Amino acid sequence: MEKLNKQYLKQLSHYSWLTLIAIISILGVSAVFYLLAILFSGHIEVEAGSISIDGGNLVSMLAFLSDMMVLVLVFFSICTPYQIFKEAIANGVSRWTNWLAHHLMVITVLVVAWLMNALIELLQSGTVTWSQQWAIIISMLIGVTTAGALGNLYGLMSMRWKIILTITLLASFFVLCWLAVRLVLLVTPERAVMMIQSINHPIVWNGLGLIWVALMVGIDYLCALHMQLRRD
């Protein structure tokens, strides 16, 4: 349990620092562009109330933080599994403990991001629509678990195979898009509407989403437990 707690806190710390750096970088770039706009425009307009934080600014800030947390978590899950695995093995942490600590960290971040989204809806409409919040949860889970499975799959491979897998995934994505466009063009509008209506139900999409999440977690788990140290 002690090793699990240490590994959890270490991964949460790494993620927090990465998120902080990403937020500061984006704010810094925005400030630079703002200053450049002032220099090129030749004048500065500052309203007295622009510095105050009203409801709209608070919602925008929460939305920005929530989106950044999830995006950084996706990036973190893709790029860092092997480095975290090396550190864990060097510190005597088992593969199972490392995998569990990572997913406890993921759950922590997603819960905070979801609470922010619920607060955003509460501030905007005065109520929380649970069907919409459930859709947000499923969307976040799909993105993060897919990134985690891909990151651990990359962790099994050398650089050469990582490049091959990346090219294959990109090619597959474009082929699927092309097939989807061809299907839309071949099917009559009436038939297309019927097909969309037949599957356009929250239960269908949520069920498919949960199946995808379970599949990605399974791939993530298998790859994490079979990861080995490499010389490259």
pLDDT of residue 193: 64
Average model confidence (pLDDT) for the chain?
A: 83
CB atoms within 10 A of CB 161: 12
pLDDT of 46 reads 47
- So what's the pLDDT on residue 50? 43
* Contacts (Cβ under 8 Å, ≥6 apart) of 195: 187
Average pLDDT value for residue range 184-197: 66
Percent of the chain with pLDDT over 70: 85
How many angstroms separate the CA atoms of 172 and 180, rounded?
12
Residue range 88-132, pLDDT digits in tens? 888 888 899 999 999 999 999 999 999 988 888 888 877 778 778
How confident is the model at residue 42, as a pLDDT? 58
pLDDT at 21 over 70: yes
Give the global pTM: 0.79
User: What mean pLDDT comes out for the span 155-175?
Assistant: 87
What amino acid occupies position 43?
H
Question: Which amino acid is residue 154, in one-letter code?
Answer: Y
pLDDT band at 160 (very low <50, low <70, confident <90, very high): confident
pLDDT digits (tens, 9 = 90+) for 44-59: 554 444 444 445 577 7
